[in-house]
Amino acid sequence: MTAIAPTILATCGGLVAGDWTDSRYGPLLQHAIELAQVVGRRPRVAHINTAGGDQRHVEGAELEAARLAGVEASHVRFFPHPNTPDLREHILAQDVVWVSGGSLLNLLAVWRAHGLDEILTEAWQRGVVLAGGSAGGLCWHEGGTTASRGPDISALADGLGLVPGSLAVHYDSDPRRRPAHQAAVASGELPGGYALEEGTGLVYQGWTLVDVVSEREGAAVWRVQGTDPGGRGGVTETRIEPRVLPGLTTAGPAQSPNTFTSPSPSTSPIEEARTPR
């Protein structure tokens, strides 16, 4: 646990397709490990798939990707019951906690029932890098827009609040996201914040945004702010050009969230199996 400050990496990314294996760690996940600044041993990464219901078939691909990356990986699961006798001890021993996508609403409910929200806050304060994609990026914020309640996109204003403001994900790949998020910010249901296109991420140290990154050329991050604090106005969007991480050189058009692939590297079949939330 050697991050220089409490660090969060909120993304629309994670595993990507491997050359001869199912999956490998993508540039955003690799960047989370770099932020932990581990020296002299293999990094320890705990994968948490609560938002997807702790599906076991996902874990094999993650473990294989971790092995290829030289990472000591583990899984924290809650279904049908916690898989570790001391959840706090296990989380505090990690360098990175990576949270995958699925239902943000269910993730928060299960974590709070087991006290993981408090454990993650302690880990963050102690230097464990908290990171993840989709629901795993939304959860750290004060709130965000989600498909957790059904096919429509709705606002959820009850995130963990470790970093300020709201977040939207899949901003370029799901046409429902932008108008729903803008409406929630314009009405005051959600505070202003950021929106992520596929393959992008936000790096926070404490409550401060310190870097905006991408694993594909041409992707953008958006600053989304209400124009009227009373909730009677609209929103303004400011495009932010991310810093492109090593390993990517090409861009591709955004597609629907169930078919999106970024051309190099392509989206992992495991990641596509998780319904974006």
Catalytic residue, chosen from 134, 148, 173, 214, is: 134
Catalytic residue, chosen from 100, 170, 173, 262, is: 170
Q: Does the active-site annotation cover 170?
A: yes
Q: Which long-range contacts (CB under 8 A, 24 or more apart) does 118-126 make?
A: 119/87, 119/88, 119/91, 119/92, 120/91, 120/160, 120/162, 121/160, 121/162, 122/88, 122/92, 123/1, 123/91, 123/92, 123/94, 123/97, 124/6, 124/7, 124/8, 124/162, 125/6, 126/1, 126/92
Q: Does the active-site annotation cover 214?
A: no
Torsion (CA) 23, 160, 140, 114 in degrees, nearest 10: -20
Residues 201, 214: Cα–Cα separation, whole Å: 6
Query: Where would I find the H helices in 99-236?
Result: 104-114, 116-126, 135-138, 177-187
Q: Which residues fall within 8 angstroms of residue 147, CB to CB, at 6 or more apart?
A: 153, 154, 176, 275, 276, 277
- Active-site residue list: 134, 170
